[in-house]
Amino acid sequence: MLTDRQQEIVDTSLEIISSIGIQGLTIKNLAKRIGISEPAIYRHYENKISILLTILDYFKSSGEQMFRKQIKSEDRPLRRIECIFEGHFDAFERNPSLVSVIFSEEIFRNEPVLQAKIAEIMDRNFNAIKALVVEGQAKGEINPNFDSKYLTIIIIGSLRMMVKRWQMVDKSFNNRDEVKNLFSTIRKLIENNNS
């Protein structure tokens, strides 16, 4: 569990990342924004890496929660994938900084601990979606003539691309509709329509 200050540090970090990018997340900026001195940060976190690890953990567990909810759900696989789509999207909308975090692998490249965590999160997400695709194919909802691996790459890649575009150009347009449209396109593409 996090203390109030620890939570504040994490929240403020996400704010900073959101507004000026991960590069701007320095202890100095962090301390200034919170209104305490730099060394005070170290009363609550051993070092900067452990702050970042906490952020990634938060990210990981919020994703896990979403997947768990979908596993229990009685919906059909395609609908569950759609929920994950929307769920991720809601998360991004509520907390735009997560977008920066998700695309920050390159920055963590010199920190093995962080890179490992990122790889772990990506891998788990991939497998969760893939499991749903496989299930959808088994139940005849998704076209079984395609390798589930490639369908998963297409699904996740599309979502990421959408988010990236949103971050780079669109900026606060009709994002919810965009996601709906994108997913409905994907759905029609991969659905099993042997009528």
Number of Cβ within a 10 Å radius of residue 163: 20
Answer left, alpha or beta for residue 21, where phi above 0 means left and psi between -120 and 50 means alpha.
Answer: left
Q: Report the residue number, 104 or 137, with the smaller CB distance to a copy of itself.
A: 104
What is the nearest approach in angstroms of a copy of itself to the Cβ of residue 189?
Answer: 5
139 binds, among DNA, a copy of itself, none (CB under 5 to 8 A by kind): none
- Identify which of 127, 173, 135 has the alpha carbon closest to the alpha carbon of residue 153: 127
Amino acid at site 97: S
Binding piece for DNA, criterion CB under 7 A, among 42-50, 92-100, 131-139, 168-176: 42-50
- 29-46 per-residue burial string, b: 16 or more CB within 10 A, e: under 16: ebbeebebeeeebeebbe
| Long-range contacts of 19-28, Cβ-Cβ distance < 8 Å, separation of 24 or more | 19/97, 21/100, 22/100, 22/101, 22/104, 22/107, 23/107
Interface with a copy of itself includes 107 (CB under 8 A)? yes
Q: Report the residue number, 10 or 114, with the smaller CB distance to a copy of itself.
A: 114
Binding piece for a copy of itself, criterion CB under 8 A, among 25-33, 49-57, 83-91, 118-126: 118-126
18 binds, among DNA, a copy of itself, none (CB under 5 to 8 A by kind): none
Q: How many residues interact with DNA (rule CB under 7 A)?
A: 20
- Residue 120 phi/psi, 5-degree rounding, is -60, -45
Interface with a copy of itself includes 181 (CB under 8 A)? yes
Contacts of 43 (CB under 8 A, 6+ apart): 5
- Residue numbers of the site for a copy of itself (CB under 8 A)? 20-24, 100, 103-107, 109-110, 119, 122-123, 126, 145-147, 150-151, 153-154, 156-162, 164-165, 168-169, 181-182, 185-186, 188-190
- Residue numbers of the site for DNA (CB under 7 A)? 3, 5, 25-29, 31, 35-40, 42-44, 47-49
